Structure 1
Amino acid sequence: MLLARVFNIIREKNPNVIDGEKVKLTLKPPQVARIGTKRTSFSNFGEICKSLKRQEKHLHQYLLAELGTNGSIDANNALTIKGRFQQKQIENVLRSYIKEYVICKTCRSPDTSLQKEERLSVLLCNNCRSRYFVSGIKTGFQAQVGKRAATRAKAT
């Protein structure tokens, strides 16, 4: 009797829990196409940001830092990346982003929000109300390929 009451309260507070199973986060696969030989277009970037409930700027910075390149967002919310990348590579980076910045570590719910508090990013879960700090986006080492030779040639 008491156990049934507890389960009824859980169902009322968490409508996304159906018969003990949580509803998973489902995303459309990234639509990746090459632009010429040196650039890659991620055309449904804006749509994925909306389904993750994250700002485009944050996901944009994370993708570019993880891929070790630079790029920009155009008027159609498509991300143009410098370099040749396959869909699988972008999917792997998206998985790591979701694991670190979207999924709650306590209840594994994707229903979270990312907020800034005193220059720190805080992940707030809307299901279990837990909150914890997440690390900032760090860019890795980027080599200067060909730039030094070009500047040296200009100097002489």
Structure 2
Amino acid sequence: MNEAEPAESVGSVGPDFGPAGMPISLMVNGRARIVRVEPRTTLAEALRDGLGLTGTKIACDRGACSACTVWLDGAPVCSCMMLAVEVGARQITTIEGLAVGHALHPVQAAFIGHDAIQCGFCTPGMIMACAALLARTPNPTEDEVKAAISGHLCRCGTYPHVIAATLAVAAGRGIGS
């Protein structure tokens, strides 16, 4: 310890740095939300446990399956790999934020129409990845869809249906063929 420093300042932690929860503001689905989190709380946990947005699924809890995919400033991210306190003022969009009122997002509707949902655990992450792809590449190729979902694990094997649904939205066919 440096003799010029008072003993109480060495290693001291401010009241907002845990282990107890601290309030943070998150911009979620276009709304400012306050949630109390411990510094170790992941974004996925804050969304699910703190804000009740349970559409974001936690499966592997280590970024290997992508079930927890949300958008951060429009880009898909694994929310289990980011601390809630790291988000700052960036915009978070969850699966709940894709629909407009009771009108499903076209990708959500296409997943239903193309039977791209089985057990449903990977579905929110897959939809978020496919919708993000279509937002940046309105007319993707099959290979681009495959690349967009390459980190997503679907234990039911609905990949062909996910690809068909995404390509149908891109072609303007939505839930048809």
More strand as a share of residues: 1
Bigger relative CO (Cα 8 Å, ≥ 6 apart): 2
TM-score, with normalisation over the residues of structure 2?
Answer: 0.27
